Structure 1
Amino acid sequence: MIVERAYAHVESHDEGEWPWSVPCVRGLLTDGLRFTAPVTFLVGENGSGKSTLVEALAEGFGLDPYGGSHEWRYASHRGKSVLGERIRFEAAPRGRRMLGSWSARTGFFLRAETALDALDREGFAPDSVSHGEGFLAAFRGKFLRPGLYVMDEPEAALSFSSCLELLGHLDQLVKNGGQVICATHSPLLTALPGADIIEVGDHGLRRTEWSDLALVDHWRRYLNDPRAYLRHILD
């Protein structure tokens, strides 16, 4: 483990304004977010705030909020966010040196929509491959060292079999000393044994089991009988 808890202190803010109006952000301000496993999945509907949260966590660690490593912080047009600049971490023993020294920080922020641009900028995106192949090539060549790796919906570019390969890379990464925080909609990724799953929604933040996730239940029902869902949206 690199970090054990994330928190933020904001002396004065309007709870009716974004991002303070987002329930998971209010939960972070009130209780913080504790990490209990090397891989943490944040799961929630679109608009639940999980992407806002992972971007802030990445920025708080010193990673480029556009996507990339700490060496490229704010190299893109994206400036500091009001939440990201307030994020602080409580480090695990192995993470204290990283948080105590800017040059010692290792990690990467992988955003689905900017991943290949960020990887190309840092010299890791191979030419003449698909989006998904580029993702996997990055994991093979870049996501190796101990550090904090933050991901926002990495499954967006991946097929079923590629998601399985990604799980293998995540497993190897944490065995090498890495820590992963990942926002996802994927029931496949969240099934990783030993991962901590946090459901994000109107309730804020709460830990749950894979079998209790709403997305797992919906996929199971849909695959069993697609027409039970499609009849409500198709003429």
Structure 2
Amino acid sequence: MAKNLFIRGFRIDHAAPAYSESYLSKIPVLRHLDTFEFRKKVTFFVGENGTGKSTILEALAVSSGYNPEGGSKNFNFATSDTHSNLYRAMRVVKGIDRPRDVFFLRAESFYNLASNIDEIGDPLFLEQYGGRSLHEQSHGESFLSLMLHRFRGNGLYILDEPEAALSPSKLMTMLARMHELVNQHSQFIIATHSPMLMAYPNADIYVLAEGALKKTLYEDTEHYIVTRHFLEDPKKMLHYLLD
């Protein structure tokens, strides 16, 4: 395990009732996943919907003390108790160092996070997010405000589909900001469908498919292959799809 990472890995106890007596035991990838080791400062989990990407990230975040709907350890709002119990069966292996900054971003509950920030109503607190209500910004602008203003470096950032609201140019801005934060001793764990994000250099990409979690080269991911084929000849691809 890499010693300079804030989270070095995790273990899943399949005998724990939280796992064995729930729907989690029916998710193929989880059924075959006992121990996982992080080795890079940026790790991507990719795969089809329903393969368990978000479930793993959510459990990592909750096990680390983050609010299940997003935010840092200081957030305790809850609009819907829908997170799984995987965190009860997961043991997170932490590194020697502790992060000075932490954040869990969930695209699906980001609206609730933005609302909670407004409800707190503290101008000094709002300054951490760019000094302007996230609801007064576009969805993409508010996502980037987190990256540019709230993320301070020396941090652990768990991001679930952060590309959801970002245009291609804003994704490139995100990549540049990620690189700044990585150089400031930060660790990113990201679930994504974006081939642009996955292109981040020297990252580990793990594909959840066929009941396994497989480390995969960027150029071998379905996301890269399908996107490349489409962009090389969109007319041919559309003809194949629509006729």
- Which TM-score bucket, shorter chain as reference? 0.7 to 0.9
Partner of 2:24: 19
Partner of 1:70: 73
Check whether the contact 1:147–1:177 (CA below 8 A) recurs between aligned residues.
Answer: yes
In structure 2, relative to structure 1, the CA distance for the partners of 1:219 and 1:16 (3 Å cut) is: farther
Check whether the contact 1:40–1:181 (CA below 8 A) recurs between aligned residues.
Answer: yes
1:9 to 13, 23, 43: 13
> Offset at 1:146?
2.1
Q: What is the correspondence of 1:141-180 to structure 2 with a 5 Å cutoff?
A: 141-180=149-188
Q: CA RMSD in A?
A: 2.2
1:117 to 108, 112, 117: 112
Task: Percent identity, please.
Answer: 36
Q: How far apart, CA to CA, are the structure 1 residues paired with 2:190 and 2:73?
A: 18
Q: What is the correspondence of 1:4-153 to structure 2 with a 5 Å cutoff?
A: 4-12=8-16, 18-28=23-33, 30=34, 32-73=35-76, 75-78=78-81, 81-95=84-98, 106-122=101-117, 123=126, 124=129, 125-153=133-161
Q: How far apart, CA to CA, are the structure 2 residues paired with 1:50 and 1:3?
A: 17
Check whether the contact 1:42–1:184 (CA below 8 A) recurs between aligned residues.
Answer: yes
Check whether the contact 1:57–1:84 (CA below 8 A) recurs between aligned residues.
Answer: yes
Q: What is the correspondence of 1:205-224 to structure 2 with a 5 Å cutoff?
A: 205-224=213-232
With normalisation by structure 1, the TM-score equals: 0.86
Q: Which moved more, 1:10-19 or 1:106-115?
A: 10-19
Q: Deviations over 1:86-132 (max 9, x none)?
A: 3222222214xx6xxxxxx7411111122243144244344521100
> Offset at 1:215?
1.0
Q: Which moved more, 1:105-114 or 1:127-136?
A: 105-114
SS across alignment from 2:108: coil
Whether 1:201 and 2:209 are equivalent positions in the alignment is yes
Q: Which sections of structure 1, spanning at least 5 residues, go unmatched?
A: 99-104
SS across alignment from 1:70: coil
Q: Deviations over 1:150-183 (max 9, x none)?
A: 1111111000010000011111112222211000
Check whether the contact 1:60–1:86 (CA below 8 A) recurs between aligned residues.
Answer: no
Q: How far apart, CA to CA, are the structure 2 residues paired with 1:65 and 1:36?
A: 25
With normalisation by structure 2, the TM-score equals: 0.84
Q: How far apart, CA to CA, are the structure 1 residues paired with 2:152 and 2:174?
A: 13
> Offset at 1:17?
5.1
Q: How far apart, CA to CA, are the structure 2 residues paired with 1:227 and 1:15?
A: 48
